[in-house]
Amino acid sequence: MYGSPWRRRLLDDVRERLFTPAPDRPAGARYGVEVELIALDAETGLPVPILDPAEAAGNQSGSLAFLRHRGNRLSWRAVPGPHGVPDLHLPGGGHVSYEPGGQIEYATPPHGTVAELVADLECVIPPLVEDAAEAGIRLVGLGIDPVNPLDRARLLLPGDRYVAMHRYLARIGDAGPRMMLQTAAIQVNVELADPAGRDADLRWRVLHAAAPFLTAIFANSAAYAGAASGYASFRARQWRLLDRRRTGLLGREADRAAEYTDFGLEAAWVFAPGDREPEPFAEWVVRGEATVDDWRRHVTTLFPEVRPRGYLEMRGIDALPPEWCAVPPAIVAGLLADGRSLREAAGIVGEPDSMLLHAAARVGLRDSRLAGPAAQLFDLAIGAGKRTGVLEGRALELARTYYDNYTRRGRTPGDEGVGAAA
């Protein structure tokens, strides 16, 4: 199979679609962020449904009614979404959408500078949280719902993709449904390589190797279902449990695209027809029961810590309160500021180490294997960002303040019970 024409065809598809910049990506676009927030009723603490009161079960107001009302005031444009609920497009190019459990996500457009990205986030996130509070909705900047157990969560986006994923993951255990319905993240998006097209292989490896350290630096989900979870990042713990065949660290092979292709072939096909037992996608290919279109849908269900999408999407960072949402992209930008900073980061993080992912979820910066290098990485990012001009002004101020308050002291927002957006 792995030397077959089919494998070569799928490998070519991965190279062309996932490891080549998208042709419609704006020139000079380097940084983007997706900020997810958990929507809870301000009085009851229950998850807020998406639909408005006339359509939602119970007496709660739906979050979509709030977003529509806010969008009308701010000239947001409602666009049909892929899962039966509209996306709301902002005049500046970003958009607000939903995750399957009703979590609200703001995705920025790609920005050319960190300063532009920070300004975008600060213009959108705090006012959104404040307006939601006035509407009786608490938008929580934590990695996981701190109040509700899983049995209070519901799949609120009933499209075929989410239904199939939920059914498949629920067969493995509670971690998959918990991840889909109750967690929130800050996903940092960066270019595949530097503006001159260099360092793509090293960037891929370093970002995977850095993932456990970034998870530990921003660990912010220590509470779950009204009690201490026993983990620094209970969200990260769910990712370690839900399906080892489609999650974790890559960046160990010389050929990025080949590594990712084989990773996808070994993952079970979530969309297997009928009630047949899920098998690795490779088995369906061998039997001639899967197409290239099936493959393209299949790879959307792969969730390594760094995912290629014509850019690199970093997935391992817990959601944070509004005042800190810009810090993760600032730090990643500093690490990737130039070839020098990237090589120095490589020396700090070493090779991708899956065991560190478990440690980051369990104890975060209380593990000495993570604490020292994490502080070094953060310090490197600030220094390189300042040296190159990638970080300046507000971005540099936020990074330094977070470092002094938390990372330098071996602490995270989760250690102080911080994270619930007021």
Per-residue pLDDT reduced to its tens digit, 321-353: 999 999 999 999 999 999 999 999 999 999 999
Angle at 320 between CA 379 and CA 143, to 5 degrees: 115
CA–CA dist 72, 66 (Å, integer): 10
SS3 33: strand
DSSP 8-state class, residue 100: T
Per-residue pLDDT reduced to its tens digit, 350-401: 999 999 999 999 999 999 999 999 999 999 999 999 999 999 999 999 999 9
Per-residue pLDDT reduced to its tens digit, 51-106: 865 544 444 579 999 999 999 999 999 999 988 899 999 999 999 999 999 999 99
Going 44 to 45 to 51 to 56, the CA torsion angle's sign is negative
Place of tokens 């250690």: 415
Report how far Cα 198 is from the mean position of its chain's Cα atoms.
Answer: 25
pLDDT, position 58:
46
How far, CA to CA in Å, does 3 sit from each of 9, 262, 286? Answer: 11, 11, 12
pLDDT, position 27:
74
Q: Which of 114, 140, 224 is nearest to 179 (CA)?
A: 224
Q: Are 192 and 19 in contact (CB under 8 A)?
A: yes
How far, CA to CA in Å, does 378 sit from each of 305, 363, 394? Answer: 19, 19, 17
Per-residue pLDDT reduced to its tens digit, 167-214: 999 999 999 999 999 999 999 999 999 988 999 999 999 999 999 999
Per-residue pLDDT reduced to its tens digit, 148-170: 999 999 999 988 999 999 999 99
CA–CA dist 303, 264 (Å, integer): 10
What is the model's pTM? 0.95
| Band of residue 2 on the pLDDT scale cut at 50, 70, 90 | low
Lowest mean pLDDT among 146-155, 267-276, 413-422: 413-422
Structural domains in the chain plus CATH codes? 5-411 (3.30.590.20)
Q: Give residue 67's identity as a one-letter amino acid code.
A: L
pLDDT, position 56:
45
Percent of the chain with pLDDT over 70: 95
pLDDT, position 52:
64
Q: Which of 153, 167, 169, 175 is nearest to 39 (CA)?
A: 153
Q: Are 41 and 147 in contact (CB under 8 A)?
A: no
CA–CA dist 369, 9 (Å, integer): 41
Lowest mean pLDDT among 29-38, 267-276, 301-310: 267-276
404 is written with which tokens? 């002094």
